């Protein structure tokens, strides 16, 4: 069995991309090129295959790489999983694969998600915007963009994106759950509760949906129903971090009942 698909990568070494190469700090000429080449070979080592050619200048990297069909076919969007424990290696791999297929929806989604996880929301939103433009039907991409907008403090814009996702995919649990969280940020608790209830019904074991549903109910003054939702959150997995948050909510509710119920009198 021989070598299969050939990829052609081109990465412009602007300020954003240079951060993936801390080894080049203070290096020039041949030392700069050597440091970049060694880094590239290191991140590609887990993928196998064969680097046919590599050209490095201070402005860009050009590289041709062949996939080895002795190993399972490379899924570029999963390249970060092959890079070990260093998130920067995964991001660099994904950036290189995207340079070969700039319109690949799954790569745009994977890379945008990776940047969002690293709180680089500017780059994440750039990628999600490209994704939604080239693949409007990519619902998870729309939801991810909406979630990143919420994370960046662009609440109205994020909710508009999430509302579009819900219209396109009314059975998408993640879309309803994320929209519910976004609506709560605008104090639209009744609408938030409706979306979170749908998410909860779609997956009765979704702890996040139950917890946020409880929060929305509590804000609406539905304390008994909120307590029930927090109880269900704990029941699903009592040892999780979110279960601990639910317990704290129940304690706070109990203290509020004692105070306002007249048991604490001055």
- Return the pLDDT at 229: 98
Contact 88, 20 (CB under 8 A): yes
Buried b (16+ CB within 10 A) or exposed e, 99-130: bbeeebbbbbbbbbbbbbeeebbebbbebbbb
Distances from the Cα of 179 to the Cα of 6, 12, 108, 125, angstroms: 41, 36, 22, 17
- 201 pLDDT above the threshold of 70: yes
- Return the pLDDT at 260: 67
Lowest mean pLDDT among 8-12, 23-27, 87-91, 133-137: 87-91
pLDDT grade for 74, boundaries at 50, 70 and 90: low
Phi then psi dihedrals of residue 62, to 5 deg: -120, 135
Model confidence pLDDT, tens digit, residues 114-156 = 999 999 999 999 999 999 999 999 999 999 999 999 999 999 9
Contact 167, 158 (CB under 8 A): no
Residues 6+ apart with CB under 8 A from 88: 19, 20
Pair of tokens at residue 266: 């001055």
105-117 and 121-134 are packed helices; what angle lies between their axes, rounded to 10 degrees? 160
Average pLDDT over residues 240-247: 97
- 225 pLDDT above the threshold of 60: yes
- Return the pLDDT at 55: 97
**Mean pLDDT, rounded, of the chain:** 91
- Return the pLDDT at 257: 77
Model confidence pLDDT, tens digit, residues 251-260 = 998 888 777 6
- 67 pLDDT above the threshold of 50: yes
């Amino acid at each position: 069995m021989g070598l299969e698909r050939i990829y052609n990568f081109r990465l412009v070494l602007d300020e954003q991309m240079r951060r993936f190469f801390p080894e080049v700090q203070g290096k020039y000429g041949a030392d700069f090129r050597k440091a970049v080449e060694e880094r590239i070979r290191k991140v590609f080592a887990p993928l196998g295959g064969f680097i046919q050619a590599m050209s490095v200048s201070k402005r860009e990297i050009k590289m041709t790489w062949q996939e080895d069909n002795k190993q399972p076919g490379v899924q570029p969007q999963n390249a970060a999983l092959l890079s070990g424990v260093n998130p920067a290696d995964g991001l660099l791999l994904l950036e290189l694969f995207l340079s070969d297929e700039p319109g690949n929806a799954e790569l745009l989604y994977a890379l945008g998600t990776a940047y969002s996880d690293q709180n680089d929301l500017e780059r994440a939103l750039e990628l999600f915007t490209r994704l939604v433009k080239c693949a409007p039907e990519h619902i998870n991409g729309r939801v991810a963009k909406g979630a990143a907008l919420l994370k960046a403090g662009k609440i109205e814009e994020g909710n508009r994106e999430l509302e579009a996702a819900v219209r396109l995919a009314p059975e998408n649990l993640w879309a309803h759950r994320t929209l519910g969280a976004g609506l709560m940020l605008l104090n639209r608790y009744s609408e938030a509760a409706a979306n979170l209830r749908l998410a909860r019904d779609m997956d009765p074991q979704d702890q996040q949906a139950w917890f946020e549903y409880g929060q929305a109910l509590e804000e609406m003054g539905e304390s008994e129903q909120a307590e029930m939702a927090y109880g269900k959150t704990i029941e699903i997995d009592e040892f999780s971090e979110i279960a601990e948050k639910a317990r704290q909510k129940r304690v706070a509710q109990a203290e509020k009942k004692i105070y306002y119920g007249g048991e604490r009198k001055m």
